[in-house]
Structure 1
Amino acid sequence: MGPARGFKKRRRPEKKADAAVKAAADLDSGDWWDEFSERITGPLSLSKEAGRFESVLKISRKAFNYICSLVREDLITKTSNFTFSNGQQMSINDQVAIALRRLNSGDSLLSIGLSFGLNHSTVSQVTWRFVEAIEERGIHHLQWPNSEQELEMIKSKFEKMQGLPNCCGAIDSTHIMMCLPAADASNKVWLDPEKNHSMVMQAIVDPNMRFRDIVTGWPGSMSEFSVLRSSGFFKLCEKGARLKRKKMTELGGPEIGEYIVGDSAFPLLPWLITPYQGKELSESMKRFNNKHLSTRMVAQRALTKFKDTWRILQGEMWRPDKNRLPRIILVCCVLHNIIIDMGDEEGGATSAANCHDMSYKQQICSFSDKDGVPARDKLSQYLSSRLPP
């Protein structure tokens, strides 16, 4: 995984997923929510669904229990005196629920505090401790496939989509808005092409919309090519340490190496296949572009779902800490994957538009590696050869 800038990972024993699932089964899931939901006040309490767990926290009870089991040890070991307005001390479940509400609602610290009878500073501290705990205990949910069998399953699913063989992922980027004072000259670097202050997030996803590699922390002024080139994933691929194996697609046919697909904002490389550009395209090129588009749409859907679910990242964040924001983005990516890994259907609906960067124009990268052109042509040739006579 490409690390989020500003995140320094500390070494700790990794809690395995199966152990965490077992621990989740031991959590008290009965009376806690009834008591917690009674604390809800303000506009949220007026909703018809205010008493329904999934409508407030946007995840299933199963996923919530699992998340609590992941962070329980870290939250217990940190001294805390977090209490509600009546003096009652917060449980681990309380802290996780408040943090999740802060991340998935997009509401301000003050609004969240009013909803649960807390000071806004307490909401901030609870959320940040939760972010730190997920960084340590949940990061194994966000990683590149670590076995040949897992990677083969991914390639098989991609091929079933539109017939693209040996495809290992789809890449895309999105902008996380920030509200920064325009008068401060130092903030100009964060101005993106649409004149918004933003931070870039680049993601490579699998067919199930699970994030497999992310890079964030770079200012919105950087192009998608520049962000890619700065990533650990790029360096590994260029060294031949990733996406290096090759496969004969058929006897006597072209040899096609492993690759990911991306739109025209990315460079054409031997391991990153982008669509054909230009107006005068042959029929085979047009067919290739259509299949390529349908395949890479999984990345657009993933980022749209991601920003729809974790709404703290959807709007403009006022004066965000530029070191903490990448870590919040990373944790939301981990939570996105946990929801998928748990088979959760409550992780937020995907916008029908599948557009995670509204009003942003398509960037165009003119760079083509000398080995990228024949790699794309071989793939196009293979797809044409599979057409019925």
Structure 2
Amino acid sequence: PLALANAPNKIESVFKVSTKTFDYIYSLVKEDLMAKSSSFVGLDGKPLSLKDQVAIALRRLSSGESLLTVGDFFSVSPSVVSQVTWRFVEAMEERGLHHLRWPNPEEMKVIKAKFEKIRGLPNCCGAIDTTHIVMSLPSVEASKVWYDKEENYSMVLQAIVDPEMRFRDIVTGWPGSVTDSCLLKSSGFFKLCEKGKRLNGNVIELPEGSHVREYVVGDIGFPLLPWLVTPYPGKDISICKVEFNKRHYATRMVAQRALARLKEMWKIVQGVMWRPDKHKLPRIILVCCLLHNIIIDMEDEVQDELPLSHHHDTGYRQQFCHSMDKSAFIQRDKLSQYLSDGLPP
């Protein structure tokens, strides 16, 4: 039923990826799809090729259209769209995970240099942020735990992002009622950092002799920790702190942009999802994050055509976390002092 999978000029407009990226994604999942082969057929009774199946799944994830609409587009039934998409998600989980991993020491050097280039923050290893995937739930499943502070039912995604907007660590599956700080503290990333197994690389010495360890940057919804630097709260703060906050904001903006790009590219996680299976949804979110990274890793030109936005949680107010660690307080002051010393008089 599809000539699309073999029509390069149509691939970009229909799937939002270049032919090269489409072929790479196909090569990743082909064996798994073959191993679980079942004869999916179109409405004309002809069997769907593996490329057709990848095309259907990518269209469903990238457009966010209903099973019926995607089915009409490809002349297949809604149940085939559903089964094919889920099979693709399973194959991507199995074959694509190497596209989402924590950087090795060599990669981290490059990441730190790129973060420093943004607005001067030294030894920064990532930017952290969260976003809500909004759901419409049947009344049977609509328990308060999924009800967030903005009165939506939602699932939260926490992501740590590098300067290229690549996801380096994600956590999802948690209900919308969970705060950013609570989600962080429940994450494997938090436990690794607290045990000294992550963000445990080079400590740098600043010109005046103080030392700064590796850290990530996040907004005031997160706790201030030795390895997580948040901005100074309040408006009545010194010029030096205002300057630090500006630089901090510009640096952590990459995480907001990455989440906005994720939702713009993979529209299944944008807007309101109609009665999703809450056990399958985290796996769909993960696969959208893998696809997001693959587009960056493939240097796909498609990404250059997307608007650069940082709005990914429209209508959600800023959370505020009062928790802070004393040694982290000192580290933030050291960074602030260092950055203000570099200012012109």
Query: TM class by shorter-chain length?
Result: over 0.9
Aligned pairs for 1:89-108 within 5 A: 89-108=47-66
Give 1:247 deviation, angstroms. Answer: 2.6
Q: Structure 1: how far apart are the matches of 2:292 and 2:223? A: 28
1:165 equivalent among 102, 122, 130: 122
Q: Structure 2: how far apart are the matches of 1:358 and 1:53? A: 30
Q: Which moved more, 1:326-335 or 1:246-255?
A: 246-255
User: Given residue 54 of structure 1, which amino acid in structure 2 is its aligned partner?
Assistant: E
Q: Which residue is 2:217 aligned to?
A: 261
TM normalised by structure 2 equals 0.96
Give 1:202 deviation, angstroms. Answer: 0.3
Aligned pairs for 1:180-329 within 5 A: 180-181=137-138, 183-184=139-140, 187-329=143-285
Give 1:347 deviation, angstroms. Answer: 3.9
* Contact 1:70/1:138 (8 A) holds in 2: yes
* Contact 1:307/1:313 (8 A) holds in 2: yes
Asked if 1:341 is matched to 2:309, the reply is no
Length, aligned pairs only: 345
Q: Structure 1: how far apart are the matches of 2:148 and 2:211? A: 39
* Contact 2:257/2:310 (8 A) holds in 1: yes
* Contact 2:232/2:245 (8 A) holds in 1: yes
- What is the identity percentage for the equivalent residue pairs of Structure 1 and Structure 2? 59
Aligned pairs for 1:41-120 within 5 A: 52-120=10-78
Q: Structure 2: how far apart are the matches of 1:96 and 1:253? A: 56
- Secondary structure class of the residue paired with 1:279: coil
Q: Which residue is 1:36 aligned to?
A: 4
Give 1:207 deviation, angstroms. Answer: 0.1
Q: Structure 2: how far apart are the matches of 1:63 and 1:236? A: 33
User: Given residue 90 of structure 2, which amino acid in structure 1 is its aligned partner?
Assistant: E
- Secondary structure class of the residue paired with 1:132: helix
TM normalised by structure 1 equals 0.85
Q: Structure 2: how far apart are the matches of 1:334 and 1:352? A: 20
Q: Give ranges in structure 1 of 5+ residues lacking alignment.
A: 1-31, 40-49
Q: Structure 2: how far apart are the matches of 1:76 and 1:371? A: 54
Structure 1 pair 126–310 and aligned structure 2 pair: CA distance change class (3 A):
same
Give 1:185 deviation, angstroms. Answer: 7.2
Q: Which residue is 1:155 aligned to?
A: 112
* Contact 1:301/1:354 (8 A) holds in 2: yes
Q: Give ranges in structure 2 of 5+ residues lacking alignment.
A: none
User: Given residue 220 of structure 2, which amino acid in structure 1 is its aligned partner?
Assistant: S
Give 1:348 deviation, angstroms. Answer: 7.7
- Secondary structure class of the residue paired with 1:199: strand
After superposition, the C-alpha distances for 1:90-147 in whole angstroms (9 at most, x for unaligned) are 11111111000000001000111111111100000000000000000000000001x2
* Contact 2:5/2:55 (8 A) holds in 1: no
